[in-house]
Amino acid sequence: MYQIFTMQTRFKDSKLYKALSWLFVNSNADLLRGSKILGLLNKINSEKLAIGSLVLSLGCFWYGSFFAEIGLGWVEGLKLGMVFLALAFLSCDKSRLQSTRAMMYLLLFIVIVLASGLVASLAGIELGMVLTGILLFSQFILAFMVASTIKSKMVIINLVLAVSVPLLLVGLFQVIFGPETSKLWVSGAEDLVRSRAFAFFGSPNVLGGLSMITAIVALFAFLGKKKWYYMAYIILSMAVLVMTFSRSAWLGLLVGVVVALFIKNWRLVLFLPLAAIGLVAPSIRQRVLVTFSPEYMLDSAIDGRVWSFNNAIEIFKTSPVLGTGPGTYGGQTAIDYNSPIYLHGMQNGYVALPYTDNQWLQVFVQTGIIGALAVAGFFISHFVNNLRQYRQSHQYFSLGIIAATVAVFVNGMFANIWEFGAISILAGAYLGLGNSYEK
């Protein structure tokens, strides 16, 4: 024990420890509090308006397709989701924004995205594509900033969970009573998967990422507040998550919750094998095991994630520092604008898979090594400082933020989650609630 204590003391006195602390651990000094810029932006100040606008923004992104079906297509046409998100930022108490390490990494990322976009535009990349790419990145960042200022954390948590209920019920109905869904959403080897829940989205993976986060929100709200109605949210979110058959969301939830439980009490991880109960269902077992089959591996190498990874690395080599520019590769924006960046791929413009199916790989290509390091710094510092908060307060709230931080990162390794405001605004809002020193 004495030797371990001596080693810990030496490490804390080392330059490496000091460097890591400077990079990732919040300091007592606050660069944002009282700044003139925030003072100018803080003319409108209403927490109720900020919370209401943020929740309405989520509602527009979650139910946009439904509005279009009932003749309210102007909700999507006017991009009211972004309008409400901007209003939430304008009306939040920006004097409460704090220069946590996570916030500083996000601000650095904003600067990098703008610089990358400027360089791309000067190089001839279409301005509309660049601006759309910037807009997609800004959704998560704005939601994170707004939530960082909210005092009434449980109010926003309760509202978000309540607004998610109709959406989740629609997904549940689709699988139980609806027809078979698109065969494009499963591989040829998955003959047992008849339907996948997708609600009002064009992909079940979007609903999967959304229900992954709401399940974590509800779980740790229940553990912290001991209110039994949160159990209903947990059951509904978990049921829909299973029925989306989104493996990336399953994995994100599993890893996030396991990490949080390990931090709470490492002995709780001994219950991890209980997760294998889900494999009793033939369709779930097939969905999981098919990823390890030789056929799936071959398909992935020819026109799947492996091919996409190799192609992205080739394109990254052409612009390694600031990247190819926001919106230019790996997502729907690049496809809509017929991005010329694909011509720099390893097959001279031939695209077996236009998506990266990996948000962080997309960031890596679009914003370069500097942008990727800023995003990595954000996740590491947010995890570290909420871990410190938990060790000081032992609140389940901080434990939930830790679980969500890990889950969002893992989910993003297999899906372009920032492409969809339905996920990115929800993730930004929940993680942002854990960005304040004040609980």
What integer is the mean pLDDT of 386-403?
95
Q: Where are the alpha helices (DSSP H) in 70-126?
A: 74-77, 80-91, 101-122
Say whether pLDDT at 438 is over 90: no
What average pLDDT does the structure give for the chain? 90
Q: Check residues 430 and 350 and name the one with the higher pLDDT.
A: 430
Which region among 5-9, 75-79, 172-176, 315-319 has the lowest average model confidence (pLDDT)? Answer: 5-9
Res 23: pLDDT: 82
Say whether pLDDT at 390 is over 60: yes
What's the pLDDT tens digit per position in 180-208? 888 788 877 788 888 999 999 989 999 99
Q: pLDDT over 90 for what percent of the chain?
A: 66
The one-letter amino acid code at 173 reads F
Q: How confident is residue 74, by pLDDT bands cut at 50, 70 and 90?
A: low
Q: How confident is residue 107, by pLDDT bands cut at 50, 70 and 90?
A: very high
Contacts of 80 (CB under 8 A, 6+ apart): 56, 57, 60
CA–CA dist 269, 31 (Å, integer): 40
Res 22: pLDDT: 75
What's the pLDDT tens digit per position in 319-353? 999 999 999 999 999 999 999 999 998 877 778 88
Say whether pLDDT at 29 is over 70: no
Contact yes or no for 167/237 (Cβ under 8 A): no
Say whether pLDDT at 222 is over 80: yes
Say whether pLDDT at 427 is over 80: yes
Res 115: pLDDT: 97
What integer is the mean pLDDT of 139-167?
96
Angle made by CA atoms 221, 272, 241, in degrees to the nearest 5:
55
3-state secondary structure at position 355: strand
Q: How confident is residue 439, by pLDDT bands cut at 50, 70 and 90?
A: very low
Say whether pLDDT at 76 is over 80: no
What integer is the mean pLDDT of 425-429?
98
Contacts of 33 (CB under 8 A, 6+ apart): 95, 97, 98, 99
The reply to whether the predicted model has a pTM over 0.85 is yes
Write out the two tokens for 258.
């396991």
Say whether pLDDT at 436 is over 90: no
Instruction: Kindly list the domain boundaries of the chain, sorted by start residue.
Output: 34-432
Q: Check residues 295 and 391 and name the one with the higher pLDDT.
A: 391
Q: How confident is residue 150, by pLDDT bands cut at 50, 70 and 90?
A: very high
Q: How confident is residue 42, by pLDDT bands cut at 50, 70 and 90?
A: low
